[in-house]
Structure 1
Amino acid sequence: MGNQVDKIRVSAGEDLLAFIPHMVGYWPKHSIVCIGMSGKRLRATMRLDLPPDDSSDAQQFADIAASQLSSDSEADGCLIAIFGREDWVDPADFPQAGSYLALRVAFAEAGMPVQDAWYVGTEHWRSLECTDAACCPWPGKDNVSIKESFVNTEFIYRGSMVGESPKEQIRELIAVKDEAFATSVAAAGNDLREPLADSGRGSAQIAVTLGAWEYSLSRWPKTPDASMTAFLLASLADTTVRDTVIVALATTANHALTGASGMGLLEGDMTSVVAPRNWHGGNQSAPSIVEIESYSDTAYLLACRDFGNILVGEVGDHDGGARGPNWDRLDRAEPLLAFLASATNAADKAPVLCLLGWIQWCKGRGTWAGNYFQLCQGFQPRYRLASMLDQLLAVGYIAACAKDQRTAWHGRKDESIGDQAA
């Protein structure tokens, strides 16, 4: 929810419903969207998969929703929009009656009573607070009124567009678009994959690898050449290197290397160091030299703690302040990773998709993260990190850094929870 939202007046039901697709980035289907409120101000937006109409776990579903949204300490109420599988045509047969009642109870107990709610069917929408046919005729207002609302028009005017479903958007983003380049990348990787998979965690090798990532990140949006692209892809085959790269993208390369060293994750170099061709003759350039920050116990302790926290989306406290991902770096890293994913259709696509999913998970965008994790496992079945994080999503677990206003992603202000598939 960006600053622009604060300047858009949301009054009628169709205005609020028009606001939702712009917040989650697509028109929700078979979803329940909950929006926190602080007084009359809209706060975090959370999307959940719609439970089955006959679900026997309505209370568990509602408890998960309330516990996640109530992590925003400033929220004192909420709004609910149910995007159903069909229109609600029979006043006596509300398709999601059990879930809605459970949500009202759970949010009230969490100190966030439901202020208003709507049901959006395939063709019509209506208020859940008004069942008077004289005031709100059945089956409700046409969904066209949402698209024609003032809020939707204002968002479009400001450049916000509602896209396809996350799965379709992701598939388009990561699809190989230049077959010739992908062929060059595959060929360039022939001499890189085996040594980086076998000896990638050597202390000198991982420093060079992190330097290559830092070099590529600093030059973005200039795209890496085929050799560098192949190197970056191949480097993620080793899980220790992958984890260190994640921490480097979220903090700094030096901090990540210090943490990996302090945790005893590095090994001696068994072979000569491998580097991308044409990268300053295979040597690190001055801005990309990666080295241990300090060999002091304090530096190691701090870096080790950050290393562990960052990987699992937790928040660390440093001198009274919160430490989470560096979102400026991750916002630059995300399109670089998408470029790498679009440069291959082989198994080396999987770690990149996992990293992209991890970023979305840290943002609190569970639906997007889940799609990345599932696509990742399509390229490498049972890819462990993706599988583990996907299981956390399935039980409604959101990264702690996404729930803390001090460390949450603020690409859109207050979008600290985003859309969560449960």
Structure 2
Amino acid sequence: MTTTVKAADAAQFLSLIPRMLGYTPTRSLVVVPMRRGRSLGAMRLDLPPREAMVDDGFAATVIGMVCRVEVADGLVVVVYSDAPTGEGLPHRDLVDGLRRTADASGLDLIDALVVAADGWGSQRVGPARVRALSELVAHPLPGGPDAGAGLPEVHGDQSTGAQLPERSAADRRRVGAAHRSLSAALSVLCGLPPESPRADRVDPAALAAACELDDLPQLYERALQWDPDTLSPLQAALLGWCLSRPALRDVALVQWASDAAGGAGAMDAQRRWEDGEEYPADLAAVMWGEGASPDPARLESALALVRQVAALTAAGRRAGPLAVCGWLSWALGRSTHAAHYADAALDGDREHGLADIVRSFVASAHLPDWAFRRGEDDDPSARRTGPTSPAGRGSSRGSRGR
């Protein structure tokens, strides 16, 4: 379903930006690519640590991201700053750099809005007039109370929601015991060394859980249907065991970003690679954010599931699930969350490969290709729509991203 909301002026446009994103940005640059006055989503970047550090290299990175949205012909930028206005709006150097680079790239900088600590205004042309922040507080949605029904609710800022769910120490102890039972079962079935001296009797439930590894794609597909809030200790232990092993983890990521057939293909490719064959480029490309766009609902389900697995897993075992949380967040366009999970995984395992890759993605502002392909056709039913551009120049299409 597409929701179109038209804003009559810049104040209304700004009131809708948090509704596009689902949160209120802080110390951020929000970039809204536009096509014929309609937005194609929104991208958020951290502001540079100090205004003096802003150069045309940062502007080139920002405008380069807009250029990857092939149908974009312009952009609106919004700076959210905790700096005071002083004699005028802050971050003029940043806006000027963006204007120069946009002009050089053939893009129209439709407006450059700045929300500072004690005022806001536009730096598009001429001296900026500082306006009161009260104009933006609880600004009603244009078009009536039902105008924003298709837009997400606003919760906190870009970091909100990155913390793992609260689970008790007792819950983690139960999952730890399930890990040991699973290890004992795998020792019996596969000859793997157990984590602790094997008991005389192996838990039949752990044996049954271990047998599920015979069909990994089926396990991963069923797991998407589990209720994350009510995972059994063995379910959490089984997924945690898989996600801590790179070969099995990569199958999960490819499958959750595609479908069960994709997972089966990834599993077969993994076996062939272990026998010395080349790993298929199309499957490897998924990990780098290339190829067909995943179903966001599948990624959301996988992320909710793995967040609970990480929360239920002891700190010493948690790096694998945390890194997967990072990749899934990155694939959904939530780079702030991705960095949080990657850093947490590296705190537990400084050599963790996937966590290091995710952190490098975020540090270089690398987003998956599918993040730039929303709105490439003219079918409005294919896109979610949020606020309109200032001065009634169109409607903006919202994609949630952190």
- Return the TM-score normalized by structure 1: 0.75
Measure the CA separation in 1 of the matches of 2:113 and 2:151.
26
Q: Which residue in 1 is equivalent to 2:233?
A: 226
Is 1:182 the counterpart of 2:181 in the alignment?
A: no
Q: CA RMSD in A?
A: 3.4
Contact 1:310 1:325 survives alignment (8 Å):
no
1:312 maps to which of 258, 283, 288: 288
Q: Which residue in 1 is equivalent to 2:15?
A: 18
CA shift digits 1:273-298 (9 cap, x unpaired): xxxxxxxxxxxxxxxxxxxxxxxxxx
| Amino acid across the alignment from 2:223 | S
Displacement after TM superposition at 1:85 (Å): 2.4
CA shift digits 1:313-360 (9 cap, x unpaired): 111xxxxxxx34243422322222222223234233322222222122
| Amino acid across the alignment from 1:227 | L
Q: Which residue in 1 is equivalent to 2:155?
A: 163
**Secondary structure of residue in 2 paired with 1:218:** coil
Measure the CA separation in 1 of the matches of 2:289 and 2:119.
39
Is 1:239 the counterpart of 2:238 in the alignment?
A: no
Q: Which residue in 2 is equivalent to 1:281?
A: none
Measure the CA separation in 1 of the matches of 2:227 and 2:376.
24
Contact 1:258 1:304 survives alignment (8 Å):
no
1:76 maps to which of 73, 76, 79: 73
Displacement after TM superposition at 1:199 (Å): 5.8
- Return the TM-score normalized by structure 2: 0.79
Match runs of 1:248-397 below 5 Å: 248-264=255-271, 304-315=280-291, 323-397=292-366
Contact 1:207 1:257 survives alignment (8 Å):
no
Aligned length: 364
| Amino acid across the alignment from 2:247 | T
Contact 2:19 2:151 survives alignment (8 Å):
no
Contact 1:357 1:370 survives alignment (8 Å):
yes
**Secondary structure of residue in 2 paired with 1:32:** strand
CA shift digits 1:195-237 (9 cap, x unpaired): 599969xxx9854344332222234467331111111111222
Higher relative contact order structure (alpha carbons within 8 Å, sequence separation ≥ 6): 2
Measure the CA separation in 1 of the matches of 2:239 and 2:285.
24
| Amino acid across the alignment from 1:403 | F
**Secondary structure of residue in 2 paired with 1:126:** strand
Contact 2:244 2:321 survives alignment (8 Å):
no
Is 1:128 the counterpart of 2:120 in the alignment?
A: no
> Closer, same or farther in 2 for the Cα pair 1:184/1:31, shift >3 Å?
same
How many percent identity over aligned positions? 22
Displacement after TM superposition at 1:375 (Å): 2.5
Q: Which residue in 1 is equivalent to 2:108?
A: 113
Displacement after TM superposition at 1:12 (Å): 1.7
Displacement after TM superposition at 1:18 (Å): 1.5
Structure 1, unaligned runs of 5 or more = 269-299, 316-322
**Secondary structure of residue in 1 paired with 2:77:** strand
Contact 1:314 1:400 survives alignment (8 Å):
yes
Is 1:97 the counterpart of 2:96 in the alignment?
A: no
